[in-house]
Amino acid sequence: MNYKQQHAATASTGAQPPHPEGDVLPNWMDANVPQGYTVAAVGDLIISDSLYPRLNAESPELLDLLRNSDLAFGNFEGTAIDLRKFGGHPSALSGGSWLISTPAVAADLKQMGFDCVSLANNHTTDWGVEGMRYTAKLFEEAGVMHAGTGETLAQARAPQYLSTAAARVALVAIASRFEVNARAINPLGQIPGRPGLNALRTIRYAKVSPERFSVLAQIRDGLPKGNMRESVLATDARNQTVTLFDAKYKSDDKVGDKVEFTFAVDARDQKDIIDNVRQGKQCADFAIASMHTHEPGNYSQEPPDFMPTVARAYIDNGADMFIGHGPHQLRGIEIYRNRPIFYSLGNFFFMENTQQPITRDEYEKDKVDPGSMTEAEFMEHRRMFGVFKDQIWYESVVAINRFHPDGRLIEVVLHPIEMHWGDSRDADRGIPRLANDVDGLRILTRLKDLSAAFGTELEISGGLGRIRNT
């Protein structure tokens, strides 16, 4: 008789079955937290300098949401360094810009109430491995647990732990959007491992109509001889795909005149990440899986098709909540097996407009002479003629999650925030504050509509959103 059979046989009597050596009790999936355990979750932390004194004076009620929770989480996106002591240099590849923060931000975020952060995202190595290490060291010194980076893939992928009076928490942080030079790898024989982040690799396919697929195949087949490797052509034939100019296409008679994206997840990455999520939960009271993704694109309000699959798999394997971030705007919320899945919590800080100093690469990308304007003028120029000029990037929520002792969700309370998008001072843009009634209603209504696609009912009352798990 195995353990499960013994457990079933003794359940009716209340007797405790034996615990065979090497067997894990089946209740490892349950959390072990106080009734009403609260987790405050936010999205990206793109912060250029210390802001605690200002927020504590102007928005103490916002900080109280973090400070009064048992745990507060955010995704730190950027590099915190002292350029006078750093000794490194900006990488040739960046996550779009070379985000930089002063060394004060790690301790500053700790003062605000943040207990743990993800460091795995497309800006992890903007300033090289040296910048990644420097940033991690600052958070360690500040007493903020961090996950998602390391000297090898095993370290980057491993759960990190934070012990508090309420619970021991495990965090596994993942990035599906990353620069190619940022992916960590394990050593092999005499070859050392590569420092970097915990990557979940995906392959993107564009689904097009059969007619368009046929045209794409004709273009591919008409390329000059030698432009396509025989192995790529063989793979296309085997998988019924077309590879053209580094893009991959599939035929789908349901898309009509549209183009839709679908993603294939690297099975090795996914299995290894699941193993680490399980390990984290088996050694902790509460487990979080965090993922940074921009797919299928920042402008999309819907998550990529692989994200619900992997998020649910992490919960199936012990995660008590899944926190997504990356596209800089809100995406929907799902309640799966009594656990919350946030497909994107947008931004909490979005001080992309006030980054300084600016690398030469930034100016060259925009074809601007570095001496032609101040750094502040250049960043405002980039904002207005780039991606982030619209209000939607500067609106989000703080999600306060309350749990039963076994990890089942009681409710999520959503506090809408905005980041000075319409103010007269450019220097204030990206700094959070609680939203007024008009802005708050618009933010929550949009989130309600996005969440309805996942069968989630979001109530709006008294300037707050509420999801009750019944």
pLDDT tens digits along 101-159: 999 999 999 999 999 999 999 999 999 999 999 999 999 999 999 999 999 999 999 99
Residue 417 has pLDDT above 50, yes or no: yes
Q: How far apart are CA 244 and CA 300, in angstroms?
A: 24
Contact of 295 with 263, CB cutoff 8 Å: yes
Q: Which residues contact 267 (CB under 8 A, 6 or more apart)?
A: none
Contact of 384 with 399, CB cutoff 8 Å: no
305 and 418 housed in the same domain: yes
Q: How confident is the model at residue 60 (pLDDT cuts 50, 70, 90)?
A: very high
Contact of 468 with 411, CB cutoff 8 Å: yes
**79-80/100-101 β-pairing:** parallel
pLDDT recorded at residue 26: 87
pLDDT recorded at residue 22: 66
Q: How far apart are CA 371 and CA 210, in angstroms?
A: 52
Domain-embedded: residue 12? no
pLDDT recorded at residue 327: 97
406 and 455 housed in the same domain: yes
Domain-embedded: residue 11? no
In 339-436, alpha helices (H): 360-365, 375-385
298 and 317 housed in the same domain: yes
Contact of 214 with 237, CB cutoff 8 Å: no
329 and 412 housed in the same domain: yes
Q: Nearest Cα to 247, choosing from 258, 237, 232, 234?
A: 232
pLDDT recorded at residue 452: 98
3-state helix, strand, coil in the chain (%, to 5): 35, 25, 40
Q: What is the mean pLDDT of residues 393-418?
A: 98
pLDDT recorded at residue 8: 47
154 and 258 housed in the same domain: no
Domain-embedded: residue 9? no
123 and 234 housed in the same domain: no
Evaluate if pTM is beyond 0.85.
yes
- Residue at which a domain ends, from 241, 262, 283: 262
Domain-embedded: residue 112? yes
pLDDT recorded at residue 20: 60
Tokens of 217: 């195949």
Domain-embedded: residue 287? yes
101 and 224 housed in the same domain: no
Lowest-confidence pick of 10-24, 41-55, 217-231, 289-303: 10-24
Mean pLDDT of the chain: 94
Rg over CA atoms, the chain: 23
Q: Based on the number of CB atoms within 10 Å of its own CB, is 271 exposed (0-12), middle (13-18) or buried (19 or more)?
A: exposed
352 and 292 housed in the same domain: yes
pLDDT digits (tens, 9 = 90+) for 438-459: 999 999 999 999 999 999 999 9
Q: Which domain holds residue 443?
A: 37-199+267-468
363 and 418 housed in the same domain: yes
Q: How far is CA 270 from the centre of its chain?
A: 16
190 and 232 housed in the same domain: no
- Residue at which a domain ends, from 221, 244, 262: 262
AA identity, residue 63: L
Contact of 113 with 63, CB cutoff 8 Å: yes
- The DSSP code sequence of 107-144 is HHHHHHT--EEE--STTTTTTHHHHHHHHHHHHHHHT-
Q: What is the mean pLDDT of residues 384-395?
A: 92
- Residue at which a domain ends, from 262, 292, 308: 262
229 and 317 housed in the same domain: no
Upstream peptide bond of 18 is cis (omega within 30 degrees of 0):
no
Residue 23 has pLDDT above 90, yes or no: no
Domain-embedded: residue 273? yes
pLDDT recorded at residue 224: 94
Report the CATH number that the domain containing residue 156 is assigned in CATH: 3.60.21.10
Domain-embedded: residue 188? yes
Number of domains in the chain: 2
Q: How far apart are CA 332 and CA 91, in angstroms?
A: 34
Q: How confident is the model at residue 278 (pLDDT cuts 50, 70, 90)?
A: very high
Domain-embedded: residue 21? no
Q: What is the mean pLDDT of residues 372-376?
A: 92
pLDDT digits (tens, 9 = 90+) for 146-170: 999 999 999 999 999 999 999 999 9
pLDDT digits (tens, 9 = 90+) for 250-275: 999 999 999 999 999 999 999 999 99
Q: How confident is the model at residue 5 (pLDDT cuts 50, 70, 90)?
A: very low
- The DSSP code sequence of 244-304 is ETTEEEEE-TTSTT--EEEEEE-HHHHHHHHHHHHHHHHTSSEEEEEEE--TT-TT-SS--
216 and 324 housed in the same domain: no
Q: How many Å from the N-terminal Cα to the C-terminal Cα in the chain?
A: 37
